[in-house]
Structure 1
Amino acid sequence: MTKTAWVFPGQGSQAMGMGTDLLDIPSAKEKFAQAEDILGWSVNEICQNEEAKLAQTLYTQPCLYVVESILADLIRERGYKPDLVAGHSLGEYIALYVAGVFEWSTGLELVKRRSELMENAAGGMMAAMMNFDREQLETVIAQTPDVVLANDNSPAQVVISGTPDAVQTVMSQVKAKRSVPLKVSGAFHSHLMTAAATEFQEILENVEFQQATVPVLSNVEPEPAVDAQVLKQRLTQQMTGSVRWREISLALPTQGIEKVVEIGPGNVLTGLIKRTVSDVTLENVRNAAELPN
């Protein structure tokens, strides 16, 4: 049997119309209805008709959780299961759900609160940098207060996060092929999220985590873990900690993974993995048409 990892994208992968083709599937339709009860608004309505809202953290994160988790459940209904899971930022919640760490509705409640807290933690800035000198970048970040490496996505792509002045300083001092400010409401995965993270930690403490049924590679610690307390501890650090996706990609072959399936809209993660490791097969399940037989 081919050893397979399932990976789940985060904010930035959302797309208008995502999940629409799942409405014809009874089990999926039921989940969308459940989601509406929990959220107080319709995921379908946002994904089909509200482009501005879909780009807002408050709506983006729950929409992605619902669509990706439904796709994962439909794949499992067809008899497939992963040997390992990981998710990028918000995607880690779907990974933990698929690994049986918490119930579906619990995961959506957590994502709802997370998105509210992150939406309200405004005032920072994030920027993506492509094809840069890593040594120079690390030096400039070390010398610049109030900015951090938020997402280490691949050898050639990172995201920095911090105060607008600090982010602009790094962008002006580091030579890169491209530097692009991101359309986000705050400085995610940085110390500027500390107040939100503290509040979220109190919420997490009241949620019971179960032992994972398959190993999870966490954003802040890309070492496979199944222990409930370890996974919860890593999740509490996630809002302020870096997303170490490059290291997650590098860990896949060392765990014997031969195939990676990205479940969710777009192909961001398979693209990043492709640029980081060469010896894995990559597949995408973005919609109902791409579900395995």
Structure 2
Amino acid sequence: MSVAFTFPGQGSQAVGMGKELADAFPEAAAVFAEVDEALGENLSTLMFEGPESHLTLTANAQPALMAVSMAVMRVLEARGFSLSQHASYVAGHSLGEYSALCAAGALSIVDTARLLRIRGNAMQSAVPVGEGAMAAIIGLEHTDVQAICDEAFVHGTCQIANDNGGGQLVISGAKPAVERAARIATEKGAKRALMLSVSAPFHSALMAPAAEAMREALAQVEMKAPVVPLIANVRAAPVTDPKEITGLLVEQVTGQVRWRETVEWFAANDVTTLYEIGSGRVLSGLARRIDKSVTGTAVNTPSEIESALAALLG
């Protein structure tokens, strides 16, 4: 039985994120200062004080979530934790994949912050506002939702963006196609088909310009082999080769986040505990719904850090 570290994606941000960590731990405050310097702005002030409308902007939320995850990691490491000794794998949900790679030593904090700022801006600008959309489909299986996307494709791009497990899938694409797919899903018995308040159709083919932007940006940074394998979003399988990881990060921009399959892979490979490192506890909740043999444990407060250390270090 082994442990994996997971890292949250967009939607887990909240005003005040990281402040308790910065106040309690100098290692955490140092991470926030390093990210601020890398971006040339006081992102930490926005994280701690808001306004929420600015924090939720994709270009801000992505590096902010990474910063909190890495703050937790640095606090754990300063107290004797070693990812290579005490965990077997890492994985992250969408942008969380960058946090996972940073935690595993594949990317520096500075490079990760800058990459996520580029990624956020590129994803936001890839599609004119109002032309794309996303919707959450609750209560249907993957094959059913895929068939619905295929049916709606006559109205434009429509595909599964996130398979979050527990009967929760998110679709993405051209607004007319996604709206049509949501109506079809309701007709076919979905418990809910909810249009999401998002600024762009993430993880769809419409993000191709952003994928190219990330291909160029990733070519400019050093990617090392992670100290433990990454379970990649678009593959739901382990990968360690830096060149392969870089290609998968590009593919991820337009590809499906296969989170259900990722947790199922953990369960099938004797991983019983997933520590969710950073803001929120979304991934811990998803883990319980996907496979009850896997325990999700959120680690983002001083008390949760102490509990995690006690469990991990014995």
- TM-score, structure 2 length as denominator? 0.89
Question: Considering only aligned residues, what root-mean-square deviation do their CA atoms show, in Å?
Answer: 1.4
Q: Displacement of 1:132 after TM fit?
A: 2.2
Alignment partner of 1:44: what SS? helix
List aligned pairs for 1:153-164, cutoff 5 A.
153-164=164-175
Does the CA-based 8 Å contact 1:18-1:287 persist in structure 2? no
- Gaps of at least 5 residues in structure 1 are none
Which letter does structure 2 place at the counterpart of 1:84?
Y
Letter of the 2:80 counterpart: G
Residue correspondence of structure 1 range 1-293 to structure 2 within 5 A: 3-24=2-23, 25-47=25-47, 48-80=49-81, 81=83, 82-122=87-127, 123-145=131-153, 146-174=157-185, 175-292=189-306, 293=309
The 1:134/1:210 distance shift into structure 2, 3 A limit, reads closer
Asked whether the 8 Å contact 2:29–2:71 carries over to 1, the reply is: no
Q: How far apart in 2 are the matches of 1:117 and 1:219?
A: 19
- Tell me if structure 1 keeps the 8 A contact 2:179–2:195: no
**Partner Cα distance (1:32, 1:208) in 2:** 22
Name the SS of the counterpart of 2:169 in structure 1: strand
For the residues of structure 2 that align with 1:90 and 1:218, how far apart are their CA atoms?
12
User: Which stretch shifts more, 214-223 or 177-186?
Assistant: 177-186
One-letter code aligned to 2:182: M
1:49/1:139 Cα in 2 relative to 1: closer, same or farther (>3 Å)? Answer: closer
Cα distance in 2 for partners of 1:234, 1:133 equals 25
How far, CA to CA, are the matches of 2:95 and 2:268 in structure 1? 24
Runs of at least 4 residues of structure 1 off by over 4 A? Answer: none
Task: Select the structure that is richer in helix.
Answer: 2
Bigger drift between 231-240 and 198-207 goes to 198-207
**Is 126-135 or 141-150 further displaced after alignment?**
126-135
Partners of 1:6 and 1:252 in 2: CA distance? 11
- The gaps in structure 2 that reach 5 residues or longer are 310-314
**3-state DSSP class of the match of 2:256?**
coil
Structure-2 change in CA distance of 1:134 and 1:241 (3 Å): closer
Gap change, CA 1:289 and 1:44, over 3 Å in 2: farther
Structure 1 CA distance for aligned equivalents of residues 194 and 41 of structure 2: 32
Matched pairs, number: 292
Give TM-score scaled by structure 1 length: 0.95
